[in-house]
Amino acid sequence: GAGVSQTPSNKVTEKGKYVELRCDPISGHTALYWYRQSLGQGPEFLIYFQGTGAADDSGLPNDRFFAVRPEGSVSTLKIQRTERGDSAVYLCASSLGTGGLDTQYFGPGTRLTVL
């Protein structure tokens, strides 16, 4: 079946604007994760959902960042009043469950550029 998809693939915005990044997980996967990856670095955890609820949002850098998953499937990462430092690739991953051996499957990412 289809893997994790993310839209848009690229987003260029101006400082101060609001952006939404979308993630479509693999069908049937209950857990969904958001990561941020800066150039030359590994992904950095932001938030993860188990079903509709955010089980751990400790990685969100500040209150400008917010994520939802209202029906337990598609998730949207929302960034308000964007800053140049928000520029990065935002990766989404999903897994069947949250057991220790559950594999997270990653999407291709959304490259966000804040001018």
With H, G, I as helix, E, B as strand and everything else as coil, classify residue 38: coil
Q: Which stretch binds other proteins (CB under 8 A): 11-19, 39-47, 67-75, 76-84?
A: 39-47
Nearest to 74 by CA among 25, 30, 6: 25
**What tokens does 48 get?**
């993860």
Residue number, 19 or 31, with CB nearest to other proteins:
31
Name the β-bridge partners of 11: 112
Q: Which residue has the tokens 């990856």?
A: 37
What is the nearest approach in angstroms of other proteins to the Cβ of residue 16? 28
Q: Which stretch binds other proteins (CB under 8 A): 12-20, 61-69, 72-80, 97-105?
A: 97-105
Q: Is 94 in the site for other proteins (CB under 8 A)?
A: no
Angle of CA points 99, 105, 111, to nearest 5°: 130
- Binding residues (CB under 8 A) for other proteins: these are 4, 31, 33, 35, 40-45, 48, 55-56, 58-59, 91, 93, 98, 100-101, 103-109
